[in-house]
Structure 1
């Protein structure tokens, strides 16, 4: 039913809008192409986002061994719990050296244990999301499962810092849940590898492979020192630090020279990287290396930039099934019970595709991943959720064709440390927010997004409202980009004048290009946003990501 609804709404929306499209002048057309080609105004190149840097289609290895879940005791539609059988087949898959596909049968499968992906070259495949597809029903939230070892540090952090959700008007004074932004019934991990730092006593010195003293933002080739043997094909992490406290030059590079309130986490932890970027090494020659995707920031000695070992999995796929949770009332923000679908950590060149998630607290959560494609996703249900597909601590991640039917706090959200990642061709049907969640997230792209909304009584709507904790403010760093945001105002009443889209007061140097809809719009985005092509349908370049990718591949 939802597929018919989305199709009908898109057809109606486009017919209404195409009726009132005015042609662009030759000068306007040239200006638009100049923006897309990064001529004059800086706009990041987002084309490296996604599986295999967008250069190859997702594909299962031809050498894969298929393990049929039925052969290991999984029986669909019998009303019995299938967790033991699924754990058995996962154990077998992790014993094999060859690439492996775990094939689920059609019908309803019941799961009440976490399934961990702890090896590369593994795919979990269902029979699709239709009536004759595969449904995995998770009857209990994660709060009733054994506490995951991976979240031990987080649990201690929440207690030590007395993290409590306080809502006097709702009589709520409840401790944060470890599952508010972490964990999932399907969980990728490198066992024992930390994915996020919370407490100093858990800090461990990484394996430093090289250092960089000087390079320019956007470079792919530069010199390194103290090279311990970087090799072609290595996937490593580059880290930038702020060792100069409140006066650190890196803060100006991240946020510009505006008088913005910058949170204390930017200097209270000088031994933890403030910016990180996972890269693939293309070439090495003596002390020179070439990386696949461009440097996020300049490199100067003050930033103490280093290259470290990055533990990760590759070619992990999750696809072609539906995850269903029973309906449960939402308790409060940050007090989620753990109805979480998929948790991606420590993966590179991997994917999730053709997945529906119903009644989740969070559909797909992420942390410390790079070059992952998450596409053809639907979230729905009567329950109000926290996230749909969230990007936290990610680099070069592509979320494409996400349809959000359920009400959520943050339907599209870039979280702490997210960089050069993209939401493209997504649609939000309820209470849309294009959230940027504080914490040095910068150079991210909302691309070809459709939102459906009712304006407030004052003819405004906080489409750009940013969340996150004050100690990580501002809401985002420089060069966050919005391209071709299509707004369908649901009310049939004609407003007096323009409808204002606002909500962002501390987002420096944003690029807001091509916000338009079926009523006249004005944009209020602070401070110093570059705003252009408002109320202009973006026919020439509907997707900046697709355009940049095509241009790069054709060079």
Structure 2
């Protein structure tokens, strides 16, 4: 009897111990499942809340690191460029670029260490070209621009913009500041280093200048998020070609594509969504990887489902490729700010019509706009620092671009729009960036949609009511809402300083009309509450995403695996 009781107790102890370990294992698994948001781990929730794949952004779709080009090296000093002599180097720099352009194959134009004075625009108009300095630090290459572009001859490529600004009387009007001044052509365009395809229009402003496009094929059907679609005729297409996919709204104010852009949200689109039916409302530059019968497979996913009434088409897209700008710094003098949109032209770079290209290791001091972009795709802009005493308009801006990756951007200066997705920007990513002053995450209207703020840190001081407009909604009313569906915020670290009521949560707001945002992992050194436009998906509020701090990296690893 004693023996059986002892055995029974022993068995019970084993059951209890076993149950205890099962409970610990279950608890561990449960805890582990909470390490990542349900929007990527729960199939049901993921199916109900579309999350775009952002992993195709950047140089060669994120699959290739920025190269160290070792082509033929041309020394700018051989063309009369002398650093630290106090003399203007513009003519000799232009001479060196022209000489480099005549050489076939990969070319690196090497700038010397020290201060180089630039007072004219350097146009990069060829592929397979790298403009390389000796570094962005104190002992590297400094490009000093003593006067703004407003004193230069008007650029030919901005003729249409200048006429647009005059025709529509675009002015900055601030009665309280006694300001009534015309917009500058350099408020969102132009730069002392300027990539362009000669004689190719970059952005549409006036219908009379619309060129006749080389239409390669009509696109008939395709599903959002997939890489294959049907076309009317494949005879004009080639594997390996990079073309532009265009979708139109030709149905007026109630066009179906407008509803698709905003996922049928209860928002009021501005008039520019239907006033220009001959211009595409959605564009993406795509690389053709396969052609079979009337089906075309592209490298990247479709932004929207393609329907017959969108009159989608593939057109020729002229561009440069394998262009690099690296290892240098820009400096501009301290200058008083006149007013918003009345910038004088202290802009470092203007990147247009480039594909599979990069900017790396660049410091920019006192610019009105550091790096402006338009009509570029699959470009990586990394390791950029902006600082200075002047108030900037933009630091590194995304305007009318697709699959652009801006990573490791540090913003120390006061900028109106330190991080900004502007008109027609799609599938672009700000990753691992930090904003130290006047922090805001700007979405600037103009049918921009499906963009990603990824693993961003911001420093801010709340207002007296314990709120802060982190989610800025810029842009003109005729292009509102501020963004389309599925813009995503992932792992946003908010560092709060200053005086505020610690007994209440800090309200992060500023966005009233941006629909179907995905806001995941907003956290920081205080407790936060979010107020965001209609139908936002919010998860991991006040909780960092430590296991996968970058959605871009997570999606890229998953895709390449």
Common fold: TM-score over 0.5 = yes
1:430 matched to 2:437? The reply is yes
Contact residue 245 and residue 312 of structure 2 kept, 8 A: yes
Residue from 478, 481, 504 that aligns with 1:497: 504
1:530-545 alignment, distance < 5 Å: 530-545=537-552
Where 1:214 maps in the other structure, the secondary structure is strand
Where 1:500 maps in the other structure, the secondary structure is strand
1:263 matched to 2:270? The reply is yes
TM-score (normalizing by structure 2): 0.93
1:195-344 alignment, distance < 5 Å: 195-344=202-351
1:434-449 alignment, distance < 5 Å: 434-449=441-456
1:13 alignment partner in structure 2: none
**Displacement after TM superposition at 1:211 (Å):** 1.0
1:173 alignment partner in structure 2: 180
Where 1:87 maps in the other structure, the secondary structure is helix
1:14 alignment partner in structure 2: none
1:42 alignment partner in structure 2: 50
Distance 1:73 1:446, change over 3 A: same
Moved more, 416-425 or 125-134: 125-134
1:20 alignment partner in structure 2: none
1:406 matched to 2:417? The reply is no
**Displacement after TM superposition at 1:492 (Å):** 6.2
Contact residue 135 and residue 324 of structure 1 kept, 8 A: yes
Moved more, 76-85 or 277-286: 277-286
1:53 alignment partner in structure 2: 61
- Provide the aligned C-alpha RMSD in A: 1.5
Residue from 530, 536, 551 that aligns with 1:523: 530
Contact residue 35 and residue 43 of structure 1 kept, 8 A: no
Contact residue 36 and residue 545 of structure 2 kept, 8 A: no
Supply the distance in 2 between the matched residues of 1:35 and 1:460 (Cα, whole angstroms): 32
Supply the distance in 1 between the matched residues of 2:263 and 2:557 (Cα, whole angstroms): 31
Contact residue 183 and residue 340 of structure 1 kept, 8 A: yes
Supply the distance in 2 between the matched residues of 1:541 and 1:402 (Cα, whole angstroms): 20
How many residues are paired up?
Answer: 532
**Displacement after TM superposition at 1:537 (Å):** 1.5
Supply the distance in 1 between the matched residues of 2:342 and 2:40 (Cα, whole angstroms): 46
Residue from 27, 31, 34 that aligns with 1:25: 31
**Displacement after TM superposition at 1:471 (Å):** 0.4
TM-score (normalizing by structure 1): 0.94
**Displacement after TM superposition at 1:258 (Å):** 2.6
Contact residue 211 and residue 227 of structure 1 kept, 8 A: no
Moved more, 35-44 or 285-294: 35-44
Contact residue 527 and residue 542 of structure 2 kept, 8 A: yes
Distance 1:171 1:31, change over 3 A: closer
Moved more, 252-261 or 343-352: 252-261
Contact residue 384 and residue 408 of structure 1 kept, 8 A: yes
Where 1:257 maps in the other structure, the secondary structure is coil
1:450 alignment partner in structure 2: 457
The gaps in structure 2 that reach 5 residues or longer are 1-28
Contact residue 392 and residue 417 of structure 1 kept, 8 A: yes
Supply the distance in 2 between the matched residues of 1:338 and 1:61 (Cα, whole angstroms): 31
Residue from 71, 74, 81 that aligns with 1:67: 74
Contact residue 36 and residue 43 of structure 1 kept, 8 A: no
Supply the distance in 1 between the matched residues of 2:188 and 2:521 (Cα, whole angstroms): 31
1:486 matched to 2:493? The reply is yes
Distance 1:30 1:98, change over 3 A: closer
Residue from 113, 117, 127 that aligns with 1:106: 113
Contact residue 422 and residue 446 of structure 1 kept, 8 A: yes
Contact residue 266 and residue 534 of structure 2 kept, 8 A: no
**Displacement after TM superposition at 1:438 (Å):** 0.2
Supply the distance in 1 between the matched residues of 2:34 and 2:174 (Cα, whole angstroms): 49
2:470 alignment partner in structure 1: 463
Contact residue 468 and residue 475 of structure 1 kept, 8 A: yes
Deviations 1:291-317 (A, max 9, x none): 000111101100000000000000000
Supply the distance in 2 between the matched residues of 1:395 and 1:284 (Cα, whole angstroms): 23
Deviations 1:297-338 (A, max 9, x none): 101100000000000000000000000001101110000000
Distance 1:35 1:397, change over 3 A: farther
Residue from 180, 188, 200 that aligns with 1:193: 200
**Displacement after TM superposition at 1:371 (Å):** 0.1
Contact residue 211 and residue 226 of structure 1 kept, 8 A: yes
1:390 alignment partner in structure 2: 397
Supply the distance in 1 between the matched residues of 2:177 and 2:102 (Cα, whole angstroms): 50
1:117 alignment partner in structure 2: 124
Supply the distance in 1 between the matched residues of 2:379 and 2:40 (Cα, whole angstroms): 29
2:10 alignment partner in structure 1: none
1:540-555 alignment, distance < 5 Å: 540-554=547-561
Contact residue 444 and residue 483 of structure 2 kept, 8 A: yes
Supply the distance in 2 between the matched residues of 1:200 and 1:346 (Cα, whole angstroms): 20
Where 1:302 maps in the other structure, the secondary structure is helix
Supply the distance in 2 between the matched residues of 1:472 and 1:299 (Cα, whole angstroms): 22
**Displacement after TM superposition at 1:126 (Å):** 0.5
Query: Which protein is bigger by CA-based radius of gyration?
Result: 2
Supply the distance in 2 between the matched residues of 1:54 and 1:36 (Cα, whole angstroms): 26
Distance 1:308 1:469, change over 3 A: same
Where 2:163 maps in the other structure, the secondary structure is helix
Deviations 1:396-452 (A, max 9, x none): 000000000000100000000000000000000001110000000000000000000
